[in-house]
Chain A
């Protein structure tokens, strides 16, 4: 029975969480309250671990929750149930786009959408900029200068210069960032 509920719960969160992985967190809270698979304090750990390991954070959290509920088969089932709704919806949309590709209204719509999405992605990236460059949440503008993590700003400038200049594969800079982070923050 656990597996049936696991499928239903994660299918539901995959179907109704709009706007990426973080949008699944409210669903995970509800699961913590309704089932004895994990507690809300375990959920806090799950979120932290999912953000610290590779992979899209929404998928990581589902895998983790599934593991706690039903071991290895549980984690596979939870993940597949989470992605199934988006898979079905995207296949339907992709088919429609195939059919309407030459339709001028669809083309015009995408002409409006592309620049808009660049703007939306710019806004979405503020979230990661905020956690990377601020040591604490800033409520008043006067406290902004104190809260800025200047070490991070300098490392950012160096890495961005390197990205523009050498155009190596992104994983090179991720690795460099990890090493620099350990070296710069270690207390020897």
Chain B
């Protein structure tokens, strides 16, 4: 029971501290789930994001479900999912019922301007951490640069890049093992 409560409160915190989309959640997940609780490693986080890229739904929810499942199977996944969406339900209901369009107030706009800049700084530091854990050799470096080139420069769907990476990972291992045999 205690762990369910911990799963709920941790993901409640991740939800309430995330402004914007899935990317903004990355620093919060690293702080709460990887550093503080040790429920997942940076590598596992990357695995979950990889699956989240090519499955439907909101990345925040997908990642929460994965980590919940890893700790406490299907019920754990339900608890973390509820945890990550609960702040939204509470806050949006309050805003809709009492405040109206808060995004029109200058003070909110100014604060959000600063929050976005802070989120950029946090995301850059998160990506550096993920790079250090996810890109370990020349093959990794090639895949990293290729992903940026294909999706960022040529604008090709990331689903294509994910499928290509699955094949490339296996082809790379095949040639590496064969080389190992002949030596």
Instruction: Name A's B-contacting residues (CB within 8 A).
Output: 14-22, 24, 45, 48-60, 63-64, 67-68, 72, 75-76, 79-80, 82-83, 85-87, 89-91, 93-94, 104-105, 108-129, 131-133, 152, 155-156, 159-160, 162-164, 169-171, 173-174, 176-182, 184-186
Query: Top 9 closest A-B pairs, CB basis?
Result: A181-B114, A112-B169, A86-B57, A119-B147, A177-B118, A55-B88, A115-B140, A177-B114, A116-B165
Chain B residue nearest to A109 (CB atoms) is B166
Q: Which residues of A contact B115 (CB under 8 A)?
A: 174, 177-178, 181
**How far apart are the CA atoms of A64 and B127 in the complex, in Å?**
31
Interface of B is mostly: helix
Return the chain B residue nearest A112 by Cβ: B169
Q: Does B1 contact A (CB under 8 A)?
A: no
Which B residues touch A55, using CB under 8 A? 15-16, 18, 85, 87-88, 91-92
| Interface of A (DSSP majority class) | helix
Contact indicator B117/A52 (Cβ below 8 Å)? no
B5: CB under 8 A from chain A? no
Query: Is A85 touching B57 in the complex (CB atoms < 8 A)?
Result: yes
Contact A163 B55 (CB under 8 A): no
Task: Please pick, from A51, A52, A128, the residue contacting B23 in the complex, using a CB distance under 8 A.
Answer: A128
Pick the residue among A79, A112, A159 that contacts B143 (CB under 8 A): A112
* A53 proximity list for chain B (CB < 8 A): 19, 88, 91-92, 95, 102
Judge whether B152 is part of the interface by a CB distance below 8 angstroms. yes
A185 contacts B110, C-beta separation under 8 Å: yes
A–B pairs, 14, beta carbons within 8 Å: A51-B112, A53-B88, A54-B91, A55-B87, A55-B92, A56-B22, A58-B60, A63-B88, A89-B57, A110-B50, A113-B165, A121-B49, A123-B158, A125-B120
Q: Does A91 lie within 8 Å of B65, measured CB to CB?
A: yes
Across-interface contacts of B110 in A (CB, < 8 A): 181-182, 184-186
Tell which of B106, B120, B144 touches A119, judged by Cβ atoms closer than 8 Å: B144
